[in-house]
């Protein structure tokens, strides 16, 4: 479940801001105290067990013994109390003053460690101390973030793609204006030195035709003030850095080779053990995680393009071959240290689009009839076909092909583990839906978890054999929540109860990052917008973090 404009002050005093925040926190805590009473009372709609017997007293996440460069794998356990307390409250100050009341700034990237919540906003990464909300570091990348990965190493590092800094348009204008002025002066001198009015008149007519032709050519080429765009074309997404999430330090930075056509919508970055890999339309490259040393690269033109890489414990590559009606796709498992294929699965012809949902297990989303996902294909460890999960049009949330950043691993409403896959149905009304689990060996439905009007929910992750899911508030009075669903018994228990401020916007797949890490829940919009209402003061809500008692 992911960059930053410079900080500035509110138009009101700092004291007024602090008072408003204290009032907001007081209302939140008071509301949650009442919610706890509801949880403990029998007969209410929120009559849940506080936690399974085996989970009682456990808090945070059980760390699995891992090497520092392994992909982080923690087992979340429920806090001793499900009532959430504020851990992070990040609001980007002075947002409307700098960007306008109706402006938005993209914010891809949300990560958390035991100590820090990290957000990417624009071209800046910002770290906030969990518990105090204090901004402890800020790293200016030099260009807008255009690609992130949700994967983090066991010791708290991740990779970020960003664009090269663009050259200010004013510099070009000044040079152009200077040249035009010199030419105009020379032309004026020639006119004043005419000897023959008739000859000069003819020359003037000829010169006029030439000037008109040149101006026309300049317009066609996009030159001149009228033909030139005021904003330079987006720079390619060629800068890659490995970042320490606790300190904000860039451990290394490299420029991708031959990546002039790497754009934010066609480039993705991911991690596997000890390796950082990047793919774009015409190439792919891998670097050693320790020092950024190149391991392998494939930037040679071929009949097949690199449509994306999915990481984690396994590295999968999606290859797109041919064009239009003749286009085909293949999925390959790669050796992350050499880039050599270990197996290849050829997707059936006639498929319009393919998306890598998961690398382990290997799950592929395909679109045959239209823009949405029609089927999910499961593959085994050797790349052989395993099963198909049908996706009837309009039944399930399928946001795989709507991501604004990256080309793989962006299906926020689909969760897969070795033997099961979980999908959220589209709500029949705003608050009623269900999560459906499928057996990946057969593609058949195993169990349904109904929201029962408590609020629409969608899956977040599998942890310790339990499915963690976000459930929104049904009426604005009852809490938002992350709940734990047992795939075997169907039992639902609360993980954390909290209230998402209206300023944070609706929590929806594809629009909001919802991250569970260390027993805490973090919610962050993928675009920042100025808050509305009397308490907005031109700020944009950046992130909310809650933790249990």
Question: For 107-148, what is each residue's pLDDT tens digit?
Answer: 989 999 999 999 999 999 999 999 999 999 999 999 999 899
pTM: 0.79
Query: How confident is the model at residue 14, as a pLDDT?
Result: 30
6 CB-near residues (< 8 Å, 6+ apart): 98, 124
Dist. CA 422–CA 418, nearest whole Å: 11
Side-chain-side CA neighbours of 317 within 13 Å: the count stands at 27
User: E strands within 99-193?
Assistant: 104-106, 110-112, 116-121, 124-129, 135-140, 145-148, 157-162
Please report the sign of the dihedral spanned by the C-alpha atoms of residue 370, residue 374, residue 379, residue 385: negative
Side-chain-side CA neighbours of 155 within 13 Å: the count stands at 13
Dist. CA 518–CA 319, nearest whole Å: 36
Candidates 28, 147, 76; CA nearest to 465 is 76
Range scoring the smallest mean pLDDT among 73-87, 430-444, 505-519, 534-548:
534-548
Pair 503, 541: CB distance under 8 Å = yes
pLDDT tops 70 at residue 258: yes
Place of tokens 């919802």: 514
Dist. CA 54–CA 83, nearest whole Å: 19
DSSP 219: H
pLDDT band at 61 (very low <50, low <70, confident <90, very high): low
pLDDT tops 90 at residue 19: no
Percent helix, strand, coil in the chain, to 5, is 15, 40, 45
Q: Are strands 135-140 and 434-439 parallel, antiparallel or unpaired?
A: unpaired
**Mean local confidence (pLDDT), 407-418:** 87
324 CB-near residues (< 8 Å, 6+ apart): none
pLDDT band at 326 (very low <50, low <70, confident <90, very high): confident
CA terminus-to-terminus distance, the chain: 24
Query: How confident is the model at residue 64, as a pLDDT?
Result: 60
Query: How confident is the model at residue 255, as a pLDDT?
Result: 96
Query: How confident is the model at residue 403, as a pLDDT?
Result: 64
Range scoring the smallest mean pLDDT among 150-154, 211-215, 320-324, 491-495:
211-215
pLDDT band at 484 (very low <50, low <70, confident <90, very high): very high
Pair 394, 418: CB distance under 8 Å = no
The proportion of the chain whose per-residue pLDDT surpasses 90, expressed as a percent, equals 54
Place of tokens 């004043």: 192
- Higher pLDDT among residues 159 and 185, named by residue: 159
For residue 361, cis peptide bond before it (omega within 30 degrees of 0): yes
Query: How confident is the model at residue 86, as a pLDDT?
Result: 95
Dist. CA 506–CA 498, nearest whole Å: 14
Query: How confident is the model at residue 405, as a pLDDT?
Result: 60
Dist. CA 35–CA 46, nearest whole Å: 9
Dist. CA 43–CA 492, nearest whole Å: 16
Range scoring the smallest mean pLDDT among 206-220, 249-263, 316-330:
206-220
Query: DSSP readout, 184-207?
Result: HHHHHHHHHT-S-HHHHHHHHHHH
Token pair in block for residue 93: 């100050």
Side-chain-side CA neighbours of 64 within 13 Å: the count stands at 12
Question: For 427-477, what is each residue's pLDDT tens digit?
Answer: 988 889 999 999 999 999 999 999 988 899 999 999 999 999 999 998 878
**Mean local confidence (pLDDT), 157-168:** 84
């Amino acid at each position: 479940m992911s960059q930053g404009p410079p900080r500035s002050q509110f138009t009101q005093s700092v004291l007024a801001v602090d008072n408003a925040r204290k009032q907001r926190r007081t209302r939140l805590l008071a509301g949650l105290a009442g919610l706890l009473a509801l949880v403990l009372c029998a007969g209410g709609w929120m009559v849940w067990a506080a936690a399974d017997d085996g989970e009682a007293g456990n808090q945070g996440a059980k760390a699995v013994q891992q090497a520092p460069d392994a992909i982080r794998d923690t087992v979340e356990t429920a806090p001793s109390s499900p009532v959430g307390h504020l851990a992070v409250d990040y609001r980007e100050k002075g947002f409307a003053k700098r960007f306008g009341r109706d402006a938005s700034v993209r914010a891809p990237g949300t990560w958390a460690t035991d100590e820090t919540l990290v957000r990417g906003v624009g071209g800046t990464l910002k770290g906030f101390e969990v518990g105090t909300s204090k901004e402890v570091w800020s790293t200016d990348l030099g260009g807008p973030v255009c690609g992130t990965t949700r994967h983090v190493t066991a010791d708290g590092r991740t990779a970020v793609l960003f664009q090269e800094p663009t050259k200010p348009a004013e510099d070009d204008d000044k040079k152009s204006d200077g040249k035009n002025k010199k030419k105009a002066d020379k032309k004026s001198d020639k006119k004043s030195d005419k000897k023959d009015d008739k000859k000069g008149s003819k020359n003037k007519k000829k010169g006029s035709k030439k000037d008109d032709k040149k101006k026309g050519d300049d317009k066609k080429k996009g030159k001149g003030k009228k033909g030139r765009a005021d904003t330079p074309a987006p720079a390619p997404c060629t800068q890659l850095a490995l970042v320490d999430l606790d300190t904000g330090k860039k451990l290394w930075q490299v420029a991708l080779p031959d990546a002039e056509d790497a754009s934010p919508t066609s480039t993705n970055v991911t991690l596997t053990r000890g390796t950082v890999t990047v793919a774009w339309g015409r190439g792919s490259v891998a670097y050693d995680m320790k020092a950024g040393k190149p391991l392998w690269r494939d930037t040679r033109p071929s009949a097949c393009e690199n449509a994306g890489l999915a990481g984690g414990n396994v590295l999968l590559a999606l290859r797109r071959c041919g064009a239009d009606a003749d286009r085909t796709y293949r999925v390959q498992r790669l050796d992350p240290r050499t880039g050599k294929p270990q197996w290849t699965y050829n997707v059936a012809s006639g498929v319009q689009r393919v998306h890598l949902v998961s690398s382990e297990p290997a799950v592929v989303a395909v679109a045959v009839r239209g823009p949405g996902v029609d089927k999910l294909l499961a593959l085994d460890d050797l790349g052989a076909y395993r099963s198909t999960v049908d996706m009837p049009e309009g039944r399930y949330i399928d946001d795989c092909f709507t991501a604004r950043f990256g080309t793989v691993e962006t299906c926020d409403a689909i969760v897969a583990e070795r033997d099961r896959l979980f999908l959220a149905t589209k709500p029949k009304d705003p608050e009623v839906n269900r999560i459906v689990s499928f057996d990946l060996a057969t593609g058949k439905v195993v169990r349904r978890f109904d929201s029962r009007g408590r609020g629409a929910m969608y899956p977040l992750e599998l942890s310790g054999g339990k499915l963690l899911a976000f459930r929104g508030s049904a009426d604005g009075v009852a809490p938002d929540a992350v709940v734990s669903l047992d795939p075997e018994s169907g039992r639902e228990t609360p993980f954390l109860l909290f209230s998402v401020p209206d300023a944070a916007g609706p929590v929806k797949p594809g629009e909001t990052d919802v991250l569970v890490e260390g027993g805490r829940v973090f919610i962050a919009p993928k675009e920042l917008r100025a808050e509305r209402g009397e308490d907005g003061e031109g700020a944009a809500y950046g992130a909310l973090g809650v933790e249990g008692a």
